[in-house]
């Protein structure tokens, strides 16, 4: 099957973007894994599918698949690239759009400075909303947050849990460059306390408005940046009394800005870059 695609990235988190507004999306899990493979296919952290809206109050539908082929609820860096893609390709003339995802509507808006600002909706913290199975887990309160002890890879890891539509576990570390991302990351990603697995953030608070973050992503491993991970880490830091309501997080692939008013229904806003790298065509085998 001949597949047209566009390669994009948001702060180094890279994507294959496929326009499925005119033809139904029918790729198998094996085909998704093939195109995302960095040696055998195109290579990407995630695959973003652009579909026509299914409801009158939205402009598009947005589907996201991880490098491992699994479909997931949300992708923040991808949302920025999605907005850039549909505008640049003339699929819309709007600079602010409403996009339906598996877990609600997000609203990306192209900014005059070239960045994209996304209303990511409100964060959720209740264990059942993550989901987190709390059976047998110790927990403690820290400011307005709750930390859960997840024993993994030989460490007692105290994590905040946040859902941005997708699940995140965030731990605070003294130095992100020394954090055991490649060992603790997969151990927590696949921990039985997270029945749908989890993205794992390693956050270093530098000041009340600055931080450093590395994320081991569910279904993709460590990425150069994670948009929902940045939202989750910023919100966890705010709830733990480490950050003000606006914070910039430096990740290996670039800088992301997060704003949240701290109210239970207040949206988290994610601001950052979105770049188009190349377009192409690939012959996808019937697998
Ligand atoms: N790995 C994530 C999906 C991609 C999220 C990330 N790339 C972002 O920018 O938010 C998950 O399994 O929930």
Q: Using 50, 70 and 90 to split pLDDT, how confident is the model at 1?
A: very high
What's the Cα-to-Cα distance from 211 to each of 5, 76, 122, 237, rounded to whole Å? 34, 18, 21, 9
Sorted by sequence, the CB contacts under 8 Å of residue 207 that are 6+ apart come out as none
Active site annotation includes 75: yes
pLDDT tens by residue, 34-45:
999 999 999 999
What value does the mean pLDDT take over residues 236-252? Answer: 98
Cβ atoms 270, 234 nearer than 8 A: no
CATH number at residue 138: 3.10.310.10
Q: 């608070």: which residue's tokens?
A: 205
For residues 150 and 42, state if they share a domain: no
Annotated binding site for substrate: 13, 46, 66, 76-77, 166, 199, 217-218, 227-228
201 ligand 1 Cβ < 6 A: no
**Confidence (pLDDT) at 86:** 98
217 ligand 1 Cβ < 6 A: yes
Nearest to 66 by CA among 32, 94, 40: 32
For residues 110 and 165, state if they share a domain: no
For residues 96 and 23, state if they share a domain: yes
For residues 136 and 257, state if they share a domain: yes
For residues 142 and 73, state if they share a domain: no
For residues 157 and 116, state if they share a domain: no
Taking the CA of residue 13 as reference, the ligand 1 atom at the shortest distance is: 7
For residues 34 and 70, state if they share a domain: yes
CA atoms within 13 A on the CB side of 127: 13
pLDDT > 70 in the chain, percent: 100
**Confidence (pLDDT) at 34:** 98
ipTM: 0.98
Provide the domain count of the chain: 2
| Structural domain boundaries, residue 193 | 127-266
272 ligand 1 Cβ < 6 A: no
Which residue's CA is the nearest one to ligand 1's atom 11? 218
160 ligand 1 Cβ < 6 A: no
Rounded to whole angstroms, how far apart are CA atoms 229 and 227? 5
For residues 106 and 139, state if they share a domain: no
- Residue in 226, 233, 251 to alter for ligand 1 test, most ligand atoms within 8 A of Cβ: 226
For residues 30 and 152, state if they share a domain: no
For residues 105 and 141, state if they share a domain: no
pLDDT > 90 in the chain, percent: 100
For residues 36 and 112, state if they share a domain: yes
Give the predicted TM-score (pTM) of the model: 0.98
**Confidence (pLDDT) at 208:** 98
Rounded to whole angstroms, how far apart are CA atoms 182 and 269? 28
Rounded to whole angstroms, how far apart are CA atoms 185 and 201? 8
For residues 154 and 28, state if they share a domain: no
């Amino acid at each position: 099957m001949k597949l047209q695609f566009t390669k994009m990235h948001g702060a180094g988190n890279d994507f294959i973007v496929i326009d499925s507004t005119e033809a139904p999306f029918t790729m198998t899990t094996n085909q998704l894994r093939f195109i995302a493979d960095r040696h055998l296919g195109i290579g990407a952290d995630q695959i973003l599918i652009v579909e026509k809206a299914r409801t009158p109050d939205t402009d598009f539908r947005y589907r996201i698949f991880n490098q491992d082929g699994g479909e997931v609820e949300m992708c923040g860096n991808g949302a920025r690239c999605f907005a850039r893609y549909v505008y640049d390709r003339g699929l819309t003339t709007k600079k602010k759009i409403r996009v339906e995802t598996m877990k609600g509507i997000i609203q990306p808006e192209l900014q005059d400075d070239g960045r994209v600002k996304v209303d990511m909706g409100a964060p959720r913290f209740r264990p059942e909303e993550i989901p987190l199975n709390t059976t047998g887990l110790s927990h403690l309160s820290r400011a307005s947050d709750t930390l859960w002890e997840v024993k993994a890879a030989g460490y007692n890891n105290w994590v905040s849990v946040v859902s941005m539509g997708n699940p995140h576990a965030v731990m605070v570390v003294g130095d992100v460059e020394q954090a055991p991302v490649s060992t603790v990351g997969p151990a927590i990603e696949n921990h039985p306390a997270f029945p749908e697995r989890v993205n794992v953030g390693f956050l270093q608070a530098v000041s009340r408005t600055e931080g450093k973050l590395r994320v081991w992503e569910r279904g993709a491993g460590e990425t150069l940046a994670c948009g929902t991970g940045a939202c989750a880490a910023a919100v966890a830091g705010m709830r733990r009394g480490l950050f003000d309501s606006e914070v910039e997080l430096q990740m290996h692939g670039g800088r992301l800005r997060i704003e949240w008013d701290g109210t239970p229904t207040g949206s988290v806003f994610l601001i950052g870059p979105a770049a188009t790298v190349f377009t192409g065509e690939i012959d996808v085998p019937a697998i």
